[in-house]
Amino acid sequence: MGEHTTTRPPVFSVVPGAAVHRSLEGRRAEILDLVENAYRLHGAGHTVNPPSYFLRFPDRPASRIIALPASVGGEVGVDGIKWISSFPTNLELGIPRASAMLVLNDRVTGYPFACLEGSIISAVRTAASAAVAARALTAERGAPRRIGFIGTGLIARYLHTYLSELGWDVEEFGVFDLSEEYARSFAGQVLGADRGTAVRVHSSAEELIRSSDLVVFATTAATPHITDPDWFSHHPVVLHVSLRDLSTEIILDSVNVVDDVDHVLQANTSVHLTEQRTGNREFLHATLDDVLTGRFTAPADRTVVFSPFGLGLLDLVVGANVHRWATAAGDATTIDGFFHDLDRYESAGAR
């Protein structure tokens, strides 16, 4: 045995969805803090977050699988990758559109040490990042009383949960979805649980936008379908989580805050289309980190649009903590011998 072969790879474990779910229960405030801190680490240059890679299929144009590798330094200290697929036809099969797994790699050896169910972590980090943004972007104008959801799938459900954590006194929730059936079941099953808050299912996106102080877009629209800036004349805050709903006219008429400039200006997002149209980036006012650190204050008298591309580093930060919590609770499944051939010159089978 060579002198450098005494270190063993870290223990490898799998954290299934049920364990991920249990780990996250009762920790929403903590997750909001973790995600906010992750943006600050990113802003301070303690992360590596290369462009996401979109795997597409000529024979299945509506589907995709995205790879989001990242590295987070500072006190988090983890490398890894999220591998998330979106197959919209899954809804017809009665299962969620997106599925994902998250792999965490050891900082010292590079060995993967955990594989986690990733779709819950992805939804949680998306919802938490939008809630962190919503809190910061409404600081000047005060908490919204009327919150509207356009697109009522899984992401909207998690967004509602994390926005609820902010403790706002909400008067009315509005809902609109291309599918009235989805809108009605979201209104009943998700928002109906918020006793004391009125819930209204709208018959058009215009009606919903005009009657909301905070508008959440969580659709699967591939191209802009909301085109009239006048619908925003009351200057709401817009959480543009689905990224491709708003026309360039609306983007140009708004104050634009993004998570990461280079990331969000790709893949035909509304802000990417706006960059293509104008040939510049001057319509982008700030990153979320600028807002969190006080370098930029979102005005109360303009429409403010937050467009988060969704950074892999957020999945890693939430995933590393879920792994830690699940392991401490005895809820992670250890796979003994996952890495088998660990001697460089002697095959394990020959011993």
Residues 6 or more apart whose Cβ sits within 8 Å of residue 54: 64, 65, 66, 267
Instruction: By CB under 6 A, tell whether 156 contacts ligand NAD.
Output: yes
Structure tokens at 82: 């999220």
Instruction: By CB under 6 A, tell whether 220 contacts ligand NAD.
Output: yes
Cα–Cα distances (Å) from 259 to 42, 209, 298, 350, in that order, read 10, 23, 14, 52
Q: Which of 143, 154, 252, 261 binds ligand NAD (CB under 6 A)?
A: 154
Residues 164-193, one symbol each (x = binds ligand NAD by CB under 6 A, - = not), give ------------xxxx--x-----------
169 vs 161: CA distance, rounded Å:
14
Do 35 and 314 meet the contact criterion of CB atoms below 8 Å apart? yes
Instruction: By CB under 6 A, tell whether 97 contacts ligand NAD.
Output: yes
Tell me which amino acid residue 74 is.
G
51 vs 70: CA distance, rounded Å:
9
Tell me which amino acid residue 144 is.
P
Instruction: By CB under 6 A, tell whether 223 contacts ligand NAD.
Output: no
Instruction: By CB under 6 A, tell whether 126 contacts ligand NAD.
Output: yes
Instruction: By CB under 6 A, tell whether 117 contacts ligand NAD.
Output: no
Q: Which of 98, 170, 250, 251 binds ligand NAD (CB under 6 A)?
A: 98
Q: Which stretch binds ligand NAD (CB under 6 A): 104-112, 151-159, 274-282, 319-327?
A: 151-159
Instruction: By CB under 6 A, tell whether 242 contacts ligand NAD.
Output: yes
Residues 292-331, one symbol each (x = binds ligand NAD by CB under 6 A, - = not), give ----------------xxx---------------------
* Residue 198 C-alpha from the chain's centroid: 27
Instruction: By CB under 6 A, tell whether 67 contacts ligand NAD.
Output: no
Question: Half-sphere exposure of 121 toward its Cβ, with a 13 Å CA cutoff?
Answer: 33
Interface residues with ligand NAD (CB under 6 A) are: 91, 97-98, 122, 126, 150-156, 176-179, 182, 218-221, 225, 241-243, 308-310
